[in-house]
Amino acid sequence: ANILLLNGPNLNLLGTREPDVYGHETLSDVEASVRDLIESAGHTLRAEQSNREYELIDRVHEARDGIAAIIVNPGAFTHTSIALLDAFNAYEGLVFEVHISNVHKREAFRHHSYISGRADGIIVGCGVQGYELAARRILTLLALADG
Ligand code: DQA
């Protein structure tokens, strides 16, 4: 199956952005380790990052055609974007929402996510390892659907 790893605004700065909150690994490190996992299970990964809300929405629209699962960290759009939620509502595959930091330990405006009500699973506060955990869960679900 084809899987999409989608990162939202400011996540291109991973590794140098507030490293005490988000760690020292870069987005390419994250993409490489998720790709390894997915590809060694015989699936394919497309990895995208954008700082623009409409581009993230467009990527979710494209995913309606042939993408079985999306791992998404929408960054701050998590807390603001009904438009991105609507795009996920129009998508029928698996959705796993990842937040590197524990948003519930942080400012109140980070506590609400528009995406969580649509997500099949949510991984919060596990650092960048959260992306791998989401990928492992998707591999499990795909294997169950196959067998
Ligand atoms: C984040 C948490 C958001 O509140 C923040 O705006 C981000 C990153 C996380 O991965 O912890 O950009 O989604």
Sheet holding 44-49, edge to edge: 44-49, 2-7, 67-73, 94-99, 121-124
pLDDT of residue 144: 94
Cβ(103) – ligand 1 distance below 6 Å: yes
Tell me phi and psi for residue 76, to 5 degrees: -70, -20
Q: Which domains are seen in the chain, by residue range? A: 2-146 (3.40.50.9100)
Which is it for strands 121-124 and 94-99: parallel, antiparallel or unpaired?
A: parallel
pLDDT in tens, the chain (147 residues): 999 999 999 999 999 989 999 999 999 999 999 999 999 999 999 999 999 999 999 999 999 999 999 999 999 999 999 999 999 999 999 999 999 999 999 999 999 999 999 999 999 999 999 999 999 999 999 999 987
| Tokens 């991973």 sit on residue | 14
> Residues 14, 21, 55, CA angle at the centre, nearest 5°?
40
Distance of CA 6 to the CA centre of its chain: 5
- Which ligand 1 atom minimizes the distance to the CA of 99? 10
58 C-alpha to ligand 1 centroid (Å): 20
Q: Answer yes or no: is the C-beta of 101 below 6 A from any ligand 1 atom.
A: yes
Residues with Cβ within 8 Å of residue 7, at least 6 apart in sequence: 27, 47, 48, 49, 50, 72, 73, 75
pLDDT of 147 = 79
